[in-house]
Homo-oligomer: A and B are copies of this chain.
Amino acid sequence: MPQTPTADVVIVGGGLIGTSIGWRLAQAGLRVTVVAGDAEAAASRVAAGMLAPVTETTFTEEKLLRLTLASIGMFDDFATEVGTASGLPVGLRRTPTLSVASTADDAARLGMLADYLTRIGLESERLTSRECRRQEPLLAPTIRSGLLVGGDWSCDNRLLWAALREAAGRAGVRRVDGAVGRLELAGDRVVGVRLSDGSGIATDQVVVAAGAWAGQLDLPLHLPVRPVKGQILRLDPAGLPQPGLTVRAFSQGAEVYLVPRESGHEVVVGATVEDLGFDPRVTAGGVYELLRDARAVIPMTAEYTLAETSVGYRPGTPDNAPILGASGIDGVTLATGHYRNGVLLTPITASVVAAAVLDGALPDVAAGFTLARFEERER
Partner of A282, one of B286, B292, B305: B305
Is A295's CB within 8 Å of the partner chain B?
yes
**Would B302 and A295 count as touching, CB distance under 8 A?**
no
Q: Which residues of B contact A295 (CB under 8 A)?
A: 284-285, 288
- The answer for the CA separation of A102 and B95 in the assembled complex, in Å, is 46
Chain A residues 246-265 with CB under 8 Å of chain B are: none
Q: Is A327 on the interface with B (CB-CB < 8 A)?
A: no
A-B contact pairs, 22 of them (CB 8 A): A235-B284, A282-B305, A282-B306, A283-B302, A283-B303, A283-B305, A284-B291, A284-B294, A284-B295, A284-B301, A284-B302, A284-B303, A284-B305, A285-B295, A285-B301, A285-B302, A286-B306, A287-B287, A287-B291, A287-B306, A291-B291, A306-B309
Known: A283-B305, A283-B306, A284-B291; 5 extra A-B contacts, CB below 8 A, are A283-B304, A284-B305, A284-B306, A285-B301, A288-B292
From residue 270 to 322 of chain A, which have CB atoms closer than 8 A to chain B? 281-288, 291-292, 294-295, 301-306, 309
Q: Does A122 sit at the interface, judged by CB under 8 A?
A: no
Which residue on chain B has the smallest CB distance to residue A304? B284
A233: chain B residues at CB < 8 Å are 284
**Distance between A286 CB and nearest chain B CB, rounded to angstroms:** 8
Which chain B residues lie closer than 8 Å to A288 at the CB level? 288, 291-292, 295, 302
User: Interface residues, chain A, CB within 8 Å of chain B?
Assistant: 233, 235, 238, 281-288, 291-292, 294-295, 301-306, 309
Q: Which residues in B have their C-beta under 8 angstroms from that of A292?
A: 288, 292
Q: Give A194 Cβ to nearest chain B Cβ, in Å.
A: 33
Q: Tell which of A284, A291, A302 has the most Cβ of chain B within 10 Å.
A: A284
Q: Which 7 A-B pairs have the closest CB atoms?
A: A285-B302, A288-B291, A281-B305, A284-B306, A282-B306, A284-B304, A284-B291
Chain B hits for A305, CB < 8 A = 281-284
Using CB atoms, name the residue of chain B closest to A282: B306
Give CA–CA (A225, B304) in the complex, Å: 27
Q: Closest Cβ of chain B: how far from A277's Cβ, in Å?
A: 15
Contacts of A283 in B (CB 8 A): 302-306
A280: min CB distance to chain B, Å: 9
For the complex formed, measure the closest distance between the CB of A1 and the CB atoms of chain B, giving whole angstroms.
45
Nearest-Cβ distance from residue A110 to partner chain B, whole angstroms: 26
A291 and B295 alpha carbons, distance in the complex (Å): 14
Residue of B nearest to A231 (CB): B306
User: CA of A70 to CA of B305 in the docked complex: distance in angstroms?
Assistant: 40
- Complex CA gap A291/B282 in Å reads 13
Chain B residue at minimum C-beta to C-beta distance from A267? B284
Q: Which residues of B contact A291 (CB under 8 A)?
A: 284-285, 287-288, 291
- Chain B positions within 8 Å of A294 at CB level: 284
Provide the residues of chain B in CB contact with A284, threshold 8 Å.
233, 235, 291, 294-295, 301-306
Of all chain B residues, the one with the shortest Cβ separation from A292 is B288
A302 to B291, CA, bound (A): 13
CB nearest to A299 among chain B residues: B285
